[in-house]
Structure 1
Amino acid sequence: MLHSFSAVQLDYIRLWFLVQHSLTSFYKIQQHYPTLQHALTADQYSTWQKLGIHKNHLQRFQEFHRDTGQQQFQHCLKQIESSCDFVLIDCDPAYPQQLRPYTNKPPILFGQGHLQALMQPQIAIVGSRKPSTQGRQVAYDFAYYLSEQGFYINSGLAQGIDEAAHRAALQNHHTIAVMATGLDQTYPSSHQTLRQDIVRHGGTIISEFLPNTPPLQHNFPRRNRIVSALSLGVIVAEAALKSGSLITAQLAAEQGKTIFAIPGHIYSEHHQGCHQLIREGAILIDHPQQVIEDLALATQWQATEAKQSLSSDVELVPTPSPAEIPEHLLPVYRALDWVGQDLDQLSIQLNIDTATLISQLMELELLGFATQQAGHYLRCRMGKLGSE
């Protein structure tokens, strides 16, 4: 349960409350004002009108500055406090790096569970809500294998393939669910126990939606953009031609993500969506190891015996906690992701000179917390442990 918000977080929540999750209105207002605090004062109504803000948001703006509006907002804050373990805004250091490049990223995330999980390498597994018995088993097997290898399995907490993927990854304490409702409710309601198990066993539940947001149909495709954006790749385990998971695959393609599809019987309606994706360029896979090979990540699953023999004091360890990394290297480590960034990107993002950046990256490499591939720097799940 949350106990307090920062002043900036409160401003984000106020604006998100007023524009009712409208990304267009939120970012239009944010870009116009030097600070959101200024945007939210009562005398800014005419400016909002000139910006072309929707009339519904203008009406809420007026109501917000009356007693009834303030009472509604305070009630919303109390619900956030009671239903969330953390709130992230897009300027927080802990906000997922994977989401930052996208113009339609959620400005705010409400979460339950383990915040650190969001920073881990993730693979999305999506598919039909009414899968075949075989499709459910395949999703479970792939999720179990990949989570056992260190990936966090990301999905939407829906029935069918999502559920199978979450339950499998839960066995290895490596799953993340992105919801299309507020965190004060669970959809479907039958997954309440599953949701609690995810939080209890090292996973995370997140949503961009405020409390009291019901399972509206248009919020599910919107939720899916976060599922794919957080992930290194998206696996479509089983999908019919009109499956909603094809929307996730399309969003993933637009985001530049790798799309994997598991084939099935050519006469099976359950697999026609996957076969269509393969025809359109998705990677056909029939074993989860192929996902790891195609993503070619320099992380713990690629640590060969030859690597280990180079130094007897090298062991595979879980992703380091901030306490394990020297304090002066934490900003650089947090800026790294699992895909890779070049020196110019990192230098601009961190606002430090290249010489200092190279020095700190070399330190992280020597400690086993970063690696370099083709001129790009990315996180590594290996660390050097000195002998006792």
Structure 2
Amino acid sequence: MLNQISKLQLESIRLWYLVQHSLSSYQQLIDYFGSAEQAVTPANLQRWSSLGIHKNHIQRAQQFYSAAEQQHFQKILDCLTQHCDFICLANEPDYPAQLLPYSDRPPILFGQGQSFNLSQPQIAIVGSRKASQHGLQLSYDFAYYLADKGFFITSGLAQGIDQAAHHAGLKHQRTIAVMATGIEQTYPSQHLQLRQQIVEHGGCVITEFLPFTKPLQRNFPRRNRIVSGLSLGVLVAEAALESGSLITAKLAAEQGKLIFAIPGHIYSEHHRGCHQLIREGATLVDHPEQIIEDLALPTQWQIQQQDHSTQTKADIPTHLQHLYQQLDWVGQDLDHLAEKTNLAVDVLLAQLMELELLGLCLQQAGRYSRCRAATAPCFS
């Protein structure tokens, strides 16, 4: 449960509500007025009609300060306060850095659980809702192995492959679910217990959608860009040709992510989607270690993962958390980090050295990247 919603978050939620999750309208209004706060002032709401904004958004803006609209918006805020553990804005330091390069990133994430884990190394596992027993076992086995090696398993909380992957990730307290509904809902409803287990055991559940958003069909492909965007790579464990997981793979490819697919029997309808992805350039894998090798993270995973304890924000000294949050898995030079953190160079170097000694940072060729902490420091 949230202690409070900050003023900046409130104004961003207000704008997100008025444009009804429209990424283009939200960004257009931010660009024009300079901030969400300015975009939703009573005077500026009247100016929306001259900006080419969709007529539905204009109508909502004009009616926003009516008693009925104010009452409905307050219900949304109350629901967020009750059901959210955190809210992340794209311009706040706790927003997952791996989503920032994408123009279609969600401006707001609503979540339950440990928000810090959104910035941990993740592999998405997706596939058919109506999976075969063989596919479910493969999804579970791959997810279990990868989670055991330190990766968070990210998926969409759907039936079938997603469900098996989440259950395996739970065994190591490393799984993240991205939903296509409001935060107060669980879809499908029979996964309520699974969702609760994810939150209670070190994972997190997130959505970009406001409370009371129903599980509309159009929201699921949109949700998939977050699943792939958060992850270092996407594994399609089993998929028919019409599977929605192929949409996730396509989005991941557009984001520059590596796509992995598990092959099956050539006459199996359950595997035709995976075979098509392999024909189109996805990497065929028959063991999860191949995924780790191909991702080539700057970490000696076999050495570091002898202690499988989950890395949490509490493990990092308070004065280093802001800098660690700015690091990514690719690497940034000193000038870039100094600009992002507003730290003096001598202070920045000292903190980077502390992170290296803690096994949380790796320096290679003048670039600093994250490193998965365990019992040993990072090695190049």
Instruction: Output the aligned Cα RMSD.
Output: 2.2
Q: Deviations over 1:185-223 (max 9, x none)?
A: 111111111111111111111000011101111100100
TM-score by length of 2: 0.93
**What amino acid sits opposite 1:191 in the alignment?**
H
Say which SS state the counterpart of residue 377 (structure 1) adopts: strand
The aligned counterpart of 1:288 is 288
Match in the other structure for 1:361: 352
Deviation at 1:113, TM superposition (A): 1.2
Whether the aligned pair in 2 keeps the contact of 1:11 and 1:37 (CA below 8 Å) is yes
Cα pair 1:18 1:57 within 8 Å, conserved? yes
CA contact (8 A) 1:111 1:183 kept: yes
| Kept in 2: contact 1:178–1:206 (CA 8 A) | yes
Amino acid at match of 1:370: C
Within 2, Cα distance between the matches of 1:384 and 1:158? 35
Give the letter aligned to residue 246 of structure 1: L
C-alpha distance in structure 1 between counterparts of 2:187 and 2:308, whole Å: 37
For the residue of structure 2 that corresponds to 1:10, the secondary structure is helix
| Other structure's SS at 2:330 match | coil
Residue in 2 aligned with 1:312? none
- Tell me which amino acid in the other structure corresponds to 1:143: A
Q: Is the 8 A contact 1:300 1:382 kept in 2?
A: no
Q: Which residues of structure 1 form unaligned runs of 5+?
A: 309-314
In the TM superposition, what whole-angstrom CA distance separates every residue of 1:340-380 from its partner, at most 9, and x where no partner exists? 33445434433456665445433422332200345532111
Structure 2 residues not aligned, in runs of 5+:
none
Find 1:340's aligned residue among 328, 331, 334.
Answer: 331
Maintained 8 Å contact 1:152/1:176: yes
The equivalent of 1:207 in structure 2 is 207
Letter in structure 2 aligned against 1:324: I
Distance across 1 between alignment mates of 2:358 and 2:166? 33
CA shift at 1:304, angstroms?
Answer: 6.9
TM-aligned CA deviation for residue 276 of structure 1: 1.2
Taking structure 1 as reference, are residues 253 and 206 closer, same or farther at Cα in structure 2, changes over 3 Å only? same
Counterpart contact for 1:316–1:382, Cα < 8 Å = no
- Residue 313 of structure 2 corresponds to residue 321 of structure 1: yes
Percent pairwise identity = 60
Instruction: Quickly say closer, same or farther: Cα 1:374–1:129, change in 2 above 3 A.
Output: farther
Cα deviation, residue 317, structure 1 = 6.3
- CA displacement at 1:242 relative to structure 2: 1.4
Q: How does the TM-score come out when normalised to structure 1?
A: 0.91
Aligned to 2:150: 150
Q: Deviations over 1:101-127 (max 9, x none)?
A: 111111111101122221211100000
Do residues 43 (structure 1) and 43 (structure 2) align? Answer: yes
- Tell whether the 8 Å contact from 1:150 to 1:300 is kept in structure 2 after alignment: no
Q: Say if 1:102 and 1:94 are closer, same or farther in 2 by CA, change over 3 A.
A: same
Counterpart residue identity of residue 321, structure 1? K
Instruction: For 2:343 and 2:212, locate their aligned partners in 1 and report how far apart those are by CA, in whole Å.
Output: 43
Superposed counterparts of 1:300-319, under 5 Å: 301-303=301-303, 318-319=310-311
CA offset at residue 326 of structure 1?
6.1
